[in-house]
Amino acid sequence: MPLIKPGQTPPSDEEKRRWPRDADGLLRALDDSTPSARRCSARDMANAENDAQRALFAAALLARLRSEHEVSVREVMLTTLVRLGDIAALSGLADCLRTDDTTLRNEVIEAMREAPAETAPIILELLGDAEPSLRVFAVNILESFRHPDVEHWLIDLISHEANVNVCASAVDVLCLTGSTASRPALLALRQRFPEEPFLQFAIDLALKRTAD
């Protein structure tokens, strides 16, 4: 039974007739000219029955994602990619963070925040990415990420991170979510970047907010 989010319209009878709800039908419906058919297809792909189908749907969704101009369809495609939990799907999503398309990047960040259990392993990889902007995006995902290890990951990050903007993003999140456990790492970070006024400001703010 397909999952239907509140506020979403289930596939109309016409759409159901036009494209069978089996794997082949869903793949063909993803290229339909009407957004509602594409949206329904993307949504139903979340109910893949086995690993082979998950991989097939993930590849199709990723191939279509960057050319899909309808925001509501893209949202469902992203949610399904996260829910599939397939490693190729999650790696493909992470690759979207490398695009110049800021809208798509923000949508991916939102989608990844919504499913911490599925996306945690890929976020840990992103926190160690060679590209600082990717590490910043990974930290941004953690801002409202419901996972018990978030503070531990951020403490670990600021203990060795060399890029000032990555550190600043992490401190910003610790300001909102950190506890007294983050204070030693924040104090050490302040010592490492004595010439960066913004980072000093952000650390002082985080230290005040984590004081008790």
Binding site for another protein (CB under 8 A): 100, 102-103, 105-106, 109-110, 132-133, 136-137, 140, 164-165, 168-169, 171-172, 175-176, 196-199, 201-202, 205-206
Query: What's the min distance (Å) between Cβ of 175 and another protein?
Result: 6
Are the CB atoms for 69 and 50 separated by under 8 Å?
A: no
Query: What's the min distance (Å) between Cβ of 176 and another protein?
Result: 7
Query: What's the min distance (Å) between Cβ of 173 and another protein?
Result: 9
Instruction: Name the residue nearer to another protein (CB basis): 12 or 179.
Output: 179
Rounded to an integer, what distance in angstroms lies between the CA atom of residue 27 and that of residue 25?
A: 5
Instruction: Name the residue nearer to another protein (CB basis): 45 or 108.
Output: 108
Rounded to an integer, what distance in angstroms lies between the CA atom of residue 43 and that of residue 77?
A: 7
Instruction: Name the residue nearer to another protein (CB basis): 40 or 138.
Output: 138
Query: What's the min distance (Å) between Cβ of 64 and another protein?
Result: 22
Going from the C-alpha of 97 to that of each of 4, 12, 29, 49, 102, the distances in angstroms are 27, 34, 26, 28, 9
For residue 93, the number of C-alpha atoms closer than 13 Å in the C-beta half-sphere is 36
Instruction: Name the residue nearer to another protein (CB basis): 24 or 204.
Output: 204
Tokens of 173: 């999140």
Query: What's the min distance (Å) between Cβ of 197 and another protein?
Result: 6
Angle between helices 71-84 and 87-96 (to 10 degrees): 140
Instruction: Name the residue nearer to another protein (CB basis): 45 or 207.
Output: 207
Q: How many residues does the chain have?
A: 212
